[in-house]
Every structure is written in C-alpha cells, then in structure tokens.
C-alpha cells in the first residue's frame, strides 16, 4: 500500500482500502452480542461508527460532551431503525472528574462491555489548560482516554471471561503522530507554553494514542486476557475536529483533494478493527485504510510506551488526590 493505493482506493491485503466504507467493511458482521462504547459518537466519524455498529445489532453507548447533540444523534439513528439499541451518557474527556462520573454511570447500567472505541478528540487548538491543569490536546486526546480505559478494563475483562467473546479496544490516532516534538513525548514539558506548537502538540497526543494501545496490548498479553488493543488512522476527513484551523484545512484540501476521504470511508478502519472477525487475536498494531501499517520509530518504541504509561498513571493518581 502507498500513495497510489490511497488515491485509487485499491484494496490491500485485507481486501479493503481507502475507498471502503464502514457499511461495506461490516456487511457480514453480526454484532448483536456486543456492547460498544464510542467516545465522541455523536458527530463526524464517531457518529457514522455509532450508526453502522447499531445497524449491525450492537448495543451502542454514545459518550459525548454535548448531550443535546448526542440525543439528536440517537434520534437520527432510531429513525432509520427503531429497534436499534442506543444509549447516551455524558463525557468530557478533558475532565478526570467527568471521566469517573461517566464510568460510574455506565457501570450502573449493568450491561457487559465488549468494545471500547476511544474516538473523541480535539485538534490544533490554541494553548489552553484543561480543568485539571493539563495542556488541552494531551489531556483530551490521551489522558482522558487513558483514565477511561483503566476504569473500564475490569468490566471488559469480566465480560470477556463470562462470554468467551474477545474484547477489543480501539484508539483513534492519526498519521499526524509523525509530526511531533523532537523528544516524541515531552514528558517533562507537557504544559510548557513558551515552546507550544498547536500542530506538534496534536501530533504528540496522537503518538500517545498509539503508545497507549501498544503498552496496553503488551500488558493484556502478559496477563493472558482475551482483549486486544490497537490503534488506527481513520484518514483525512473534513469534520468539526478541524474547527480551529478550518480555513487552512480548506486551502490544503484544495491542493490535496485526491487523498481526502468522506465520513463513511473515514469510519471504515475503526469498524474493521473493532468488529471484523479477520482481526481476532491481532493486538498492538497500527492500521490505515483497513490494513496493518508501519507506525513511526517513536510509536514502536517500547521504552517510550512504558515511560508514557507510568507518567500518565502517576499524573492521574496525583490529580485524583
């Protein structure tokens, strides 16, 4: 696979490619025995992922900061099929308090959890700190998902053990992980305002998504748990995620329109990794256009992954005191 495949849409080894849609990649999947949480599942590729997996029979939990938008998304899905199983719960990933409240609310539903799709995020935002005092892109894209995953992991382990169905965790990363700070992850300077770059900070957070999935995968394998963890690049899609650089991205799209995807195509790799039987047992990998793809040197550094895990864990613990 390469630029030609991206432009042409020719399929890779999986039989799917950049032109494949979420509906196509999940066409043969019966997800009626699955419960799926999708963060940011009310808009963009998150909404398309919610819609398609619900259509395949999954019980979908839309986790969203904007509850009005989440409830509207639920109604749109139910208009297509009133029998789809959709719930909405509030989640602001930039607030660890909100992440904990979401976890408690989900557990109160007393349902299993088979698939966790860490989809939500912010992109290229000006320097700002989260409610917990952490740089916003790192806080929202990585730390919130790191904490959420840890809070839900026991439920996923229980579900996998009780049902025999493989659990799957999918982190939405980006090819932007290639464009990060020179250290990869600036563990000692996450909040440094003086050297802040909105683009590199985004790349850093997307690199963190891959490293998180890789280290989680290693730990799950070591524990012998029937859960996989992978990361994906959905493709370049014009969504609300780009609101902080809308006109710049419009100009970029004018000159690079051949490599852009629409939303149904953008949700394909997520759905493929989340539910396709072909991926059974596959863990710790990075996917692009529904095919395994090599990530950067930083992204495949096990020591960096471990250091990020330890840093994130210590940071969450310190902020919870």
> What residues are labeled active site?
196
The residue to which tokens 């196509």 are assigned = 24
Greatest Cα-to-Cα distance within the chain, rounded to the nearest angstrom: 52
CA gap 202, 194 in Å, rounded: 16
DSSP 176-210: GGGS-BTTBS-TT-TT-STT--HHHHHHHHHHHHH
- In 91-226 the beta strands, taken as DSSP E runs, fall at 115-118, 167-172
Whole-Å CA distances, 124 to 66, 181, 321: 20, 14, 30
Question: Phi and psi for 158 in degrees, rounded to 5?
Answer: -60, -45
Which residues partner with 232 through β-bridges?
172, 287
Buried b (16+ CB within 10 A) or exposed e, 135-160: bbbbbbbbbbbbbbbebbbebbbebb
User: Among candidates 172, 193, 166, 174, which has minimal Cα distance to 271?
Assistant: 172
Give me the sheet containing 291-292, strands edge to edge. Answer: 85-90, 59-64, 35-39, 115-118, 167-172, 227-233, 286-288, 291-292
């Amino acid at each position: 696979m390469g630029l030609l495949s991206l432009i042409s849409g020719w399929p890779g080894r999986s039989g799917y490619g950049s032109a494949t849609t979420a509906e196509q990649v999940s066409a043969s999947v019966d997800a009626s025995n699955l419960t799926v949480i999708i963060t940011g599942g009310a808009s963009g590729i998150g909404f398309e992922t919610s819609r398609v997996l619900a259509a395949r029979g999954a019980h979908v939990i839309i986790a969203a900061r904007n509850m009005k938008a989440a409830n509207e998304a639920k109604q749109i899905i139910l208009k297509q099929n009133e029998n789809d199983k959709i719930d909405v719960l509030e989640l602001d990933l930039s607030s660890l308090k909100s992440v904990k409240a979401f976890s408690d609310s989900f557990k109160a539903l007393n349902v299993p959890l088979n698939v966790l799709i860490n989809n939500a995020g912010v992109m290229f935002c000006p320097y700002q700190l989260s409610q917990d005092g952490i740089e916003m892109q790192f806080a929202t894209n990585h730390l919130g998902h790191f904490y959420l995953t840890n809070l839900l992991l026991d439920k996923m382990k229980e579900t996998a053990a009780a049902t025999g169905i493989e659990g799957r965790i999918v982190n939405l990363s980006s090819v932007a992980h290639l464009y990060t700070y020179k250290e990869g992850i600036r563990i000692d300077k996450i909040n440094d305002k003086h050297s802040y770059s909105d683009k590199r900070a985004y790349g850093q957070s997307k690199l963190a998504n891959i490293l998180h999935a890789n280290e989680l995968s290693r730990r799950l394998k070591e524990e012998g748990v029937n859960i996989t963890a992978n990361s994906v690049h959905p493709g370049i899609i014009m969504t609300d995620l780009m609101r902080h650089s809308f006109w710049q991205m419009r100009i970029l799209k004018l000159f690079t329109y051949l490599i852009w995807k629409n939303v149904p195509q953008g949700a394909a790799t997520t759905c493929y990794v989340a539910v396709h039987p072909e991926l059974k047992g596959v863990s710790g990998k990075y996917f692009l256009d529904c095919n395994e793809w090599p990530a950067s040197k930083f992204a495949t550094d096990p020591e960096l992954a471990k250091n990020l895990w330890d840093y994130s864990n210590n940071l969450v613990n310190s902020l919870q005191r």
